[in-house]
């Protein structure tokens, strides 16, 4: 999982207004299993590589309105795996009153799936 970068041009972004859930995933990869870190679902493929993310209660987690959640200007997701620890850092930029506003969320958890050490970045710009 070392140093993989997934760019938005090859990914799909979707925000479910009713359920306040945001999804980002590459169009050309299928996921095999998922793990949850603090209401954030991470999808991994058959090679145990990070391929997608679902953020539950996204507007609450980023402390921004559902309206503003619909069209982020920028998104950076960095997923790091150490032997026993997973770290997810999210940075999203939205437009509020014609000004960009950056919001960040960081979560950590145990590497219960024994994923290989490394990092993956998912980018939307």
In tens, the pLDDT along 58-74 reads 999 999 999 888 888 88
- What pLDDT, on the 0 to 100 scale, is given for residue 1? 45
Residue 69 to residues 16, 22, 65: CA-CA distances in angstroms?
10, 8, 6
Whether 50 has a pLDDT exceeding 50, the answer reads yes
Mean pLDDT over residues 86-90, rounded? Answer: 94
Question: Rounded mean pLDDT of the chain?
Answer: 85
Is the pLDDT confidence value at 6 over 70?
no
124: nearest Cα among 89, 83, 92: 92
When divided into structural domains, the chain yields a total of: 1
DSSP code, position 10: G
The domain of 96 spans 4-124
How confident is residue 56, by pLDDT bands cut at 50, 70 and 90? very high
């Amino acid at each position: 999982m070392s140093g993989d970068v997934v760019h938005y041009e090859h990914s799909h972004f979707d925000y479910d207004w009713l359920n306040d859930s945001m999804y980002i995933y590459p169009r050309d990869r299928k996921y095999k299993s998922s793990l949850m870190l603090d209401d954030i679902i991470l999808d991994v493929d058959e090679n145990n590589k990070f391929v997608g993310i679902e953020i539950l209660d996204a507007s609450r987690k980023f402390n921004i309105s559902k309206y503003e959640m619909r069209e982020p200007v920028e998104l950076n997701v960095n997923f790091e795996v150490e032997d026993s620890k997973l770290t997810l850092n999210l940075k999203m930029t939205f437009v509020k009153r014609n000004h960009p506003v950056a919001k960040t969320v960081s979560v950590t958890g145990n590497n219960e799936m024994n994923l290989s050490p490394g990092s993956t970045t998912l980018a939307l710009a």
